[in-house]
Structure 1
């Protein structure tokens, strides 16, 4: 009986790996994993998408660099504390989601992921972001909410394609002047921080900006309204709101919320 069960299990594993190879998609959500699966590493170039959400994985091995064709990596809600520098060798990676872990810092090699478009690492323990993040010129979305960040690096202003920056629920006091370089930035979310002012030219130079959320920060509405470019920003914000209404898009209870507490 034992041999039959072993043969059945082996056949099931073989079938699963065969399916992964044919689709390029490895989905192991809620699989009760404690370690990074060896059979995935062995697939090397065949992996395009890897989802290991909601397991108990504590370590990402350096051998992950073998998955050189991987475009999407999701390891949310695990127990990971650090990432290997070899992560930077995943040159095809476009989406990296690491929400809900125990990561306190990111390797400098992160900046080597030049094709990365989305980086989400909310609900971790980050105390700083590496300066090399400025090398991510194709990054469209950066989510670092719910961490322990006191500041954002000046280099973030070099993320030339950035459209959405989410950094709610940190302890950020100062914003880098380089944010003004982000001409494609549409949404800046900094609720529940310690921000008492934003760069003087932000509203003037970030000509795509449609949404700023600064609730529960020391900055006042009066300060915000006196900034150069405020009227143009306000016009863009209202235009976006009107467009949503015309398209019958559901509007949140905040509606035309100006994004700053009174």
Structure 2
């Protein structure tokens, strides 16, 4: 375990603990941490937000399960390789940010986080997602961009609340048919993958879908435009952006833009 440095170092331990207990927020960004600070674990039920962005943490201890009221776990920009299996005990978690680490897999116990609303793990080394991700029925955002994913699990279709799915810069070839169950999905981003086709009923089934981004994929313009439900999708997209093509949206009034291999 490590000790706190940087700005926090000028405070006494008791002052830090008092402040963190009063606010419920432990903010240790850019604190030059190389190991997880023991004193944070002493707070147990008091911590609601833990932010250790931009440090050099390689491991998250099993004892993090003591923080039973934790709602926001922000671990971005470290060198973390894994989450402890008992992360599933953090039943109050609503947000996990693991962007820009070295995570190679997620534990099955992730599926126990039934209150989780936002999961971002872009810029890691994932080759697959656990099937248990389908248990995250309250998940609104899933960001798995910049990994090495070859596919998304069939269980993704059970994330019924999902509104935004980002999976840019992977090696995904096709989506599971169950993605058509995501009736609240508004945005689907799959830039720079190997997608040749998407489920034929996607546009018809996902009636709230307003944005699909498929830059640098083999799927053709004709394929997309010929899908059932394309006209309705296009009408939603135009309505949202007030008939102007936003720079973040690949689908224009003529279909897929020049970023797609036709």
Q: Same fold judged by TM-score > 0.5?
A: yes
Partner of residue 3, structure 1: none
**SS of equivalent to 2:222:** helix
CA-CA distance at 1:10 after TM superposition: 8.8
**Matched positions, count:** 249
- Maintained 8 Å contact 2:250/2:256: no
Q: Hey, what does 1:65 align to over in structure 2?
A: 65
Does residue 181 of the first structure (1) align with residue 176 of the second (2)? no
Q: Which residue of 1 aligns with 2:217?
A: 217
Match of 1:252 in 2: 247
More helix by share: 1
**Structure of greater Rg:** 1
Q: How much has 1:186 moved relative to structure 2?
A: 0.2
What is aligned with 2:4?
none
The TM-score normalised by the length of structure 2 is 0.91
Conserved? CA contact 2:220–2:256, under 8 Å: no
> Does structure 1 conserve the Cα–Cα contact (< 8 Å) formed by 2:214 and 2:250?
no
SS of structure 2 residue aligned to 1:88: helix
What is the rounded CA distance, in whole Å, between the counterparts of 2:153 and 2:248 in structure 1?
Answer: 33
Deviation per CA, 1:118-156: give whole Å up to 9, x if none: 000000000000000000000000000000000000000
Paired residues for 1:163-242 under 5 Å: 163-242=163-242
Q: Which residue of 1 aligns with 2:25?
A: 25
1:253 is displaced (CA, Å) by: 7.3
* 1:13 Cα deviation after fit: 2.1
67 and 254 in structure 1: CA distance in 2 versus 1, 3 angstrom threshold: closer
Q: In the superposition, relative to structure 1, how do residues 174 and 253 fare at CA in structure 2: closer, same or farther (>3 Å)?
A: closer
TM-score, scaled relative to structure 1 = 0.91
Corresponding residue SS for 1:242:
coil
Aligned to 2:115: 115
Partner Cα separation in structure 2 for residue 153 and residue 112 of structure 1: 17
User: What is the RMSD of the two structures over their aligned residues, measured on CA atoms?
Assistant: 1.7
- Work out the CA distance in 1 between the residues paired with 2:215 and 2:74: 30
* Residue deviations 1:143-179 (CA, integer Å, cap 9, x gap): 0000000000000000000000000000001210000
Unaligned runs of 5+ residues in structure 2 are 1-8
Deviation of residue 252 (structure 1)? Answer: 3.1
Matches within 5 A, 1:75-90: 75-90=75-90
Seen in structure 2, the aligned counterparts of structure 1 residues 224 and 10 have a Cα distance that, compared at 3 Å, is: closer
Q: Secondary structure at the match of 2:50?
A: strand
Structure 1: which 5+ residue stretches go unaligned? 1-8
State the distance in 2 between where 1:216 and 1:169 align: 9
Match of 2:3? none
Q: Residue 92 of structure 2 corresponds to which residue in structure 1?
A: 92
